[in-house]
């Protein structure tokens, strides 16, 4: 072992005559630990939200949605789906109907987005669809105060002539069941019916007004949409991340801000490293003089204190990473932090530690620790051996 490392380790781990220095060394380790742990946890939180919300968004919609340029619906959807599925990146193309309406029970009236879905190709969170009825989100069912088997009135966004004059088109339909997707906005404001039954249930003309497209790689949805846009001038293709762009962008921005704010903890901890090293250098002036008289070079002296500060950084980073990763894991696994689902779409705070981000935090803290050794190390290397030895 090189003697500089030998000395640095001994300085770090032996009991100090001046307890003040060991206290502030401990404080600097603690500072780095807290900073790193906070950064890991905070980034895991944002990543958790991103992942969770992204997952739910993808469960609720498909990677790309195609809508007609005109508002008349898609009559030739069978042929279009067939053509779409010829693209190598398209896994599946299937029709969907979306009707914006109002659902009314005895107790309340609520907006509802009714989706006509293929009973053979249902999202896994919809148990099943019954002929001659609709299913609605469990939260919506609660708010309407009804139970499976009850009837509701659906007001459609068109007007029909009745013997009493023009009226909003209204249909009584049976609610056969409820679903729970986990995405609050779906469970609170949507319902589903078997596609192809739109005419029978709601007297609407084109049965299909959207085509859902699943692709091989959801992260290339935007790129695929552009390709499809060129091929199908009558359709508009919207990738999933564009539908929720503001949400995802704000999560990204939040991550940057959180990083900047919490990184300050690490910077403050680095100031502690500087202070503890400067004090250590002062305590060790005599040692430094002696080492120089024995032939230690100025660079060697600098290295002793750089190694020392870097050790403080390494210990702090390791502890911080362990604490941050464990805390994130525990909080996510045991759902320790509960939040209102109607605001956040999720009932608990999810944490997802991304290895690259955690590593980045560690490297950042190590670099800061290393940089904070430079000033004290330079100071140590500039000591005049002759004067240092006179010290008593």
Does residue number 200 form part of the binding site for another protein (CB under 8 A)? no
Does residue number 295 form part of the binding site for another protein (CB under 8 A)? yes
3-state secondary structure of 105: coil
103, 175, 291, 312: which one binds another protein (CB under 8 A): 291
Does residue number 281 form part of the binding site for another protein (CB under 8 A)? no
170, 278, 290, 341: which one binds another protein (CB under 8 A): 290
143, 214, 287, 357: which one binds another protein (CB under 8 A): 287
The vertex-93 CA angle with 209 and 134, nearest 5°, equals 50
Cα–Cα distance measured from residue 245 to residue 229, given in angstroms and rounded to the nearest whole number: 19
* Among 120-128, 139-147, 288-296, 364-372, the segment contacting another protein (CB under 8 A): 288-296
Token pair for 13: 């781990």
Cα–Cα distance measured from residue 52 to residue 184, given in angstroms and rounded to the nearest whole number: 12
Site for another protein in 179-198 (CB under 8 A): none
- Residue 72 φ/ψ, nearest 5 degrees: -90, 0
> Which of 173, 30, 7, 165 lies closest to 99 in space, CA to CA?
173
> Which of 243, 197, 200, 265 lies closest to 28 in space, CA to CA?
265
Could you tell me how many residues of this chain bind another protein (CB under 8 A)? Answer: 27
Does residue number 389 form part of the binding site for another protein (CB under 8 A)? yes
> Which of 280, 283, 267 lies closest to 309 in space, CA to CA?
280
C-beta of 233 vs 295, nearer to another protein:
295
Site for another protein in 17-56 (CB under 8 A): 17
Does residue number 204 form part of the binding site for another protein (CB under 8 A)? no
Cα–Cα distance measured from residue 116 to residue 265, given in angstroms and rounded to the nearest whole number: 52
CB of 10 to another protein, least distance (A): 5
C-beta of 13 vs 334, nearer to another protein:
13
Site string for another protein, 237-276 (x = CB under 8 A): ----------------------------------------
Q: Integer distance in angstroms from the first to the last C-alpha of the chain?
A: 30
Rounded to the nearest angstrom, the gap between the alpha carbon of residue 87 and the centroid of all alpha carbons in its chain is: 31
Cα–Cα distance measured from residue 166 to residue 189, given in angstroms and rounded to the nearest whole number: 27
Site string for another protein, 299-328 (x = CB under 8 A): xx----------------------------
> Which of 373, 386, 387, 390 lies closest to 280 in space, CA to CA?
373
CB of 291 to another protein, least distance (A): 7
Contacts with another protein, residue ranges (CB under 8 A) = 3, 6-7, 10-11, 14, 17, 286-287, 289-300, 384-386, 389-390, 392
């Amino acid at each position: 072992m090189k003697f500089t490392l030998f000395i640095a380790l001994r300085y770090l781990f032996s009991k100090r005559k001046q307890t003040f220095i060991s206290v502030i060394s401990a404080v600097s380790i603690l500072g780095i630990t807290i900073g790193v742990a906070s950064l890991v946890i905070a980034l895991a939180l944002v990543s958790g939200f991103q992942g969770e919300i992204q997952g739910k968004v993808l469960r609720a919609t498909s990677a790309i949605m195609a809508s007609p340029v005109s508002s008349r619906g898609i009559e030739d959807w069978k042929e279009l789906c067939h053509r779409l599925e010829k693209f190598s990146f398209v896994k599946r193309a299937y029709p969907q109907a979306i009707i914006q309406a109002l659902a009314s029970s005895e107790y309340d009236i609520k907006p509802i987005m009714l989706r006509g879905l293929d009973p053979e190709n249902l999202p896994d969170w919809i148990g099943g669809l019954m002929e001659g009825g609709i299913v609605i989100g469990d939260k919506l069912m609660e708010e309407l105060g009804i139970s499976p088997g009850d009837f509701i009135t659906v007001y459609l966004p068109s007007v029909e002539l009745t013997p009493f004059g023009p009226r909003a088109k209204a249909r009584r339909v049976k609610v056969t069941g409820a679903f729970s997707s986990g995405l609050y906005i779906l469970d609170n404001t949507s319902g589903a019916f078997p596609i192809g039954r739109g005419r029978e249930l709601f007297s609407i003309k084109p049965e299909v007004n959207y085509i859902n497209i699943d692709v091989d790689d959801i992260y290339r949805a935007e790129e695929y949409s552009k390709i499809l846009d060129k091929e199908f001038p009558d359709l508009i293709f919207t990738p999933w991340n564009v539908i929720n762009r503001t949400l995802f962008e704000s999560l990204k921005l939040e991550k940057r801000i959180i990083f900047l704010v919490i990184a300050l903890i690490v910077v403050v901890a680095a100031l502690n490293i500087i202070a503890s090293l400067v004090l250590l250098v002062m305590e060790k002036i005599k040692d430094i003089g002696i080492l120089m008289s024995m032939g230690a070079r100025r660079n060697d002296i600098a290295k002793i204190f750089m190694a020392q500060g870097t050790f403080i950084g390494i210990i702090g980073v390791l502890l911080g990473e362990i604490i941050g990763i464990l805390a994130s894991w525990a909080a996510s696994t045991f759902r320790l932090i509960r939040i209102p689902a109607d605001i956040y779409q999720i009932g608990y705070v999810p944490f997802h530690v991304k290895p690259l981000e955690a590593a980045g935090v560690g490297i950042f803290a190590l670099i800061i620790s290393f940089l904070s050794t430079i000033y004290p190390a330079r100071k140590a290397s500039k000591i005049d051996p002759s004067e240092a030895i006179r010290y008593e």
